[in-house]
């Protein structure tokens, strides 16, 4: 139904991008920190944002600009979150004006975002000069530079592209994301910008976005801290030529499924690159009474600091899994719970019916030394399932965040 391909935010028809070092953060002379994404036609667009009551003013501006369901460009900086600033709204609007001038689009059709340190005044001059340097340089190859420009403590760029078929036409979805710390996504410092050439109405695009985010980005947690700046925005150019999706028909559900898988691909990259992390953890829950119960259990397990530390040490401490299930708030019969650990080195059962069973500690350690671990949980209460994405907790997490601002 869908196929992942090389590329990122510029893979769909109509989109170009660029990212450069503008020097937004004092002292930065080399790291790319300003990105532009552009479509050569006005797009249907939608976004979802953090539910944190403390929000960057970029969110207020973007919400206002998306009231008509339209957008044509994105401007985003790293190095400064533009949050908790008296002039934050004014600076966010100014960034849209800057993009408008450089790209020749209406300023109200610009999505704006920022990421970085909270509570420091955003310097606008570097953004003005940096955007001017990008005038005429946006290209199909510039998407990877844009992916780099939105990074903060990320250690790798996060981009994705995939193709699928809608109405007999090949449709492409592309995207970039950033996020490493302060990641406990609760949509409704993670940024993601997604593009598609699918023809889909603004209403259906927003609906699809909200459906797809639930089983993907909203299942990620690195450290339990929900950012002030979380923004996931999508633009659809319609250039694939498929019959426009204007209702919840077969094409709509196919699009949602593809979008969900695209988001999951980026979500796993976010989790694996958690600050200081050495392992991607995936909590897979099955046999729950309800989907809500499955979600509660999977996220509780993935958020457990004790379990995350055990996974860092390759310690098969399955009791920490049971403990996290017990305080998850899910309706669970703990005497029916089975737990296993799985990686490329194999799978090992460690708990049956809520109690420990004999297993090889040596084999368990071999499995848990891998850089991608699945925590398999069977509840035995029903047929609902969910999976959540996280990472281990290492010494480096404290090192990174002990002096993040200074």
**Residue written as tokens 């829950």?**
285
Is 109 exposed, middle or buried (CB count within 10 Å of its CB: 0-12, 13-18, 19+)?
A: buried
CA distance 222 to 308: 10
DSSP helix/strand/coil, 393: coil
State the angle between helix axes of 250-272 and 202-214 in degrees (0 to 180), rounded to the nearest 10: 50
Cα–Cα distance, 106 to 42 (Å, whole number): 10
Query: Is 326 buried (19+), middle (13-18) or exposed (0-12) by CB count in 10 A?
Result: middle
Q: Tell me if residue 189 is catalytic.
A: yes
**Residue (of 29, 230, 228, 22) closest to 119 by Cα position:** 228
Residue listed under structure tokens 């695209």: 262
Report which of 6, 14, 22, 31 is spatially closest to residue 139, judged by C-alpha positions: 14
Go through the chain and tell me how many residues it has: 406
Q: How far apart (Å, rounded) are the C-alpha atoms in residues 167 and 159?
A: 26
Nearest to 43 by CA among 163, 177, 231, 197: 197
Q: Are 334 and 322 in contact (CB under 8 A)?
A: yes
Q: Which residue has the tokens 């703990």?
A: 334
Q: What are phi and psi of 279, to 5 degrees?
A: -145, 145
Check: CB of residue 367 under 8 Å from CB of residue 277: no
CB hemisphere CA count around 251 (13 angstroms):
19
Distance of alpha carbon 333 from its chain centroid, rounded? 32
Tokens representing residue 222 in the block: 């690195």
Catalytic residue among 189, 196, 231, 254: 189
**Residue among 24, 109, 93, 33 nearest 59 (CA):** 93
Active site residues: 189
């Amino acid at each position: 139904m869908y196929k992942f391909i090389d590329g990122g935010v510029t893979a769909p028809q109509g989109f170009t991008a660029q990212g450069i070092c503008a020097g937004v953060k004092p002292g930065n002379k080399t790291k790319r920190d300003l990105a532009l994404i552009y479509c050569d036609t006005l797009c249907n667009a939608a976004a979802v944002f953090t539910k944190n009551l403390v929000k960057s003013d970029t969110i207020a501006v973007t919400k206002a600009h998306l009231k008509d369901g339209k957008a044509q460009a994105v401007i985003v900086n790293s190095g400064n979150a533009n949050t908790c600033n008296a002039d934050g709204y004014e600076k966010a609007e100014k960034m849209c004006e800057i993009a408008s001038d450089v790209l020749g689009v209406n300023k109200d059709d610009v999505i704006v975002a920022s990421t970085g340190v909270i509570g420091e005044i955003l310097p606008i001059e570097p953004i003005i000069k940096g955007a001017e340097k990008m005038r005429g340089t946006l290209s199909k190859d510039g998407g990877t530079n844009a992916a780099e420009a939105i990074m903060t403590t990320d250690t790798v760029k996060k981009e994705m592209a995939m193709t699928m078929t809608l109405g007999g036409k090949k449709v492409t979805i592309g995207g970039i994301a950033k996020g490493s710390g302060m990641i406990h996504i609760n949509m409704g410092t993670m940024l993601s910008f997604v593009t598609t050439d699918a023809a889909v109405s603004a209403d259906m695009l927003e609906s699809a976005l909200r459906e797809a985010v639930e089983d993907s980005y909203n299942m990620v947690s690195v450290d339990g801290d929900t950012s002030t700046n979380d923004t996931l925005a999508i633009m659809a150019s319609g250039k694939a030529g498929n019959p426009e999706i204007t209702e919840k028909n077969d094409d709509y559900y196919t699009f949602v499924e593809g979008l969900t898988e695209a988001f999951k691909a980026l979500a796993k990259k976010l989790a694996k690159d958690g600050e200081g992390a050495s392992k991607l953890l995936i909590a897979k829950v099955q046999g729950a009474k309800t989907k809500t119960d499955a979600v509660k259990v999977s996220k509780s397990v993935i958020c457990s600091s004790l379990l995350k530390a055990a996974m860092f040490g390759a310690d098969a401490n399955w009791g920490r899994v049971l403990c996290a299930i017990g305080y998850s708030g899910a309706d669970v019969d703990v005497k029916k719970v089975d737990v296993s650990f799985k990686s490329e080195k194999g799978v090992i059962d460690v708990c049956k019916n809520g109690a420990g069973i004999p297993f090889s500690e040596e084999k368990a350690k071999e499995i848990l030394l891998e850089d991608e671990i699945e925590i398999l949980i069977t509840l035995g209460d029903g047929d609902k399932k969910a999976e959540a994405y996280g990472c281990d907790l290492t010494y480096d997490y404290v090192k990174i965040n002990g002096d993040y601002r200074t």
